[in-house]
């Protein structure tokens, strides 16, 4: 039986994309990478894995609706039922939210609702947090505000720099995201727990 298809949206390095591709038991097939940053290194990674890429510059469009209409066309064309954001540095607008209601997940490098937005790891260090972590959540129109599905804690060590903490946070992400994707796609998790 063929697997459910999914698209990954990413803007940067793509280590979470690679973690999904390396997960042999992934319950869905990643058929498309959408990237809003021409030149981002995730694009080369997608090519390495033979995943179709759709790279576009949002500045080439008049507004978010026009940009997302183009993205939606590409995602529908490959038959993706799910969208996984993995370092996609852009808020999702109504065009995609309406078309993929409860079908868009994101991963964020903190225990939300703490430290939303950019530089979550720097924020945790600056706040002197002793524990931080990662969160997988559904997307809504806010910045890292959608319903939380799963979290994993990561201890902050006294000697941590942004680099060392980021390393351990990303290790946690690479395990948690494929796990949660599988649970959600297989409907083992129907809706987030409070």
Closer to ligand GRF by CB, 13 or 182: give it.
Answer: 13
CB of 47 to ligand GRF, least distance (A): 16
Distance CA 182, CA 146 (A): 19
Among 34, 43, 92, 109, binds ligand GRF (CB under 6 A): 109
How many angstroms separate the most distant Cα atoms in the chain?
Answer: 49
Among 6, 7, 8, 10, binds ligand GRF (CB under 6 A): 10
Closer to ligand GRF by CB, 103 or 168: give it.
Answer: 168
Which one of the listed residues 94, 108, 137, 174 is annotated catalytic?
108
Helix (H) or strand (E) holding 96: helix 94-99
Footprint on residues 13-72 left by ligand GRF (CB under 6 A): 13-16
Contact 130, 157 (CB under 8 A): no
> What tokens were used for 185?
């796609």
Instruction: Assess whether 94 carries a catalytic annotation.
Output: no
Q: Classify residue 25 by burial, with Cβ atoms within 10 Å: 0-12, 13-18, 19+.
A: exposed
DSSP 62: S
87 contacts ligand GRF (rule: CB under 6 A): yes
Contacts of 102 (CB under 8 A, 6+ apart): 138
145 contacts ligand GRF (rule: CB under 6 A): no
92 contacts ligand GRF (rule: CB under 6 A): no
Q: Indicate the residue whose CB is closest to ligand GRF.
A: 87
Q: Which residues bind ligand GRF (CB under 6 A)?
A: 10, 12-16, 86-87, 107-109, 170, 173
As annotated, the active-site residues are 108
């Amino acid at each position: 039986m063929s697997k459910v298809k999914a698209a990954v949206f990413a803007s940067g390095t793509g280590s979470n994309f690679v973690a999904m591709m390396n997960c042999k038991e992934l319950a869905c097939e990643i058929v498309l990478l959408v990237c809003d940053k021409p030149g981002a290194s995730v694009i080369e990674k997608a090519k390495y894995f033979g995943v179709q890429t759709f790279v576009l510059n949002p500045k080439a469009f008049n507004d978010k609706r026009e940009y997302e209409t183009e993205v939606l066309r590409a995602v529908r064309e490959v038959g993706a039922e799910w969208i996984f954001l993995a370092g996609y540095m852009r808020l999702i607008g109504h065009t995609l939210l309406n078309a993929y209601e409860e079908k868009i997940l994101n991963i964020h490098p903190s225990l939300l609702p703490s430290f939303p937005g950019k530089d979550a790891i720097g924020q945790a260090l600056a706040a002197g947090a002793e524990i931080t972590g990662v969160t997988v959540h559904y997307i809504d129109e806010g910045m890292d505000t959608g319903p939380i599905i799963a979290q994993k804690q990561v201890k902050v060590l006294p000697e941590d720099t942004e680099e060392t903490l980021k390393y351990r946070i990303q290790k946690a992400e690479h395990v948690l995201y494929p796990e949660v994707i599988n649970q959600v796609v297989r409907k083992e998790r129907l809706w987030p727990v409070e």
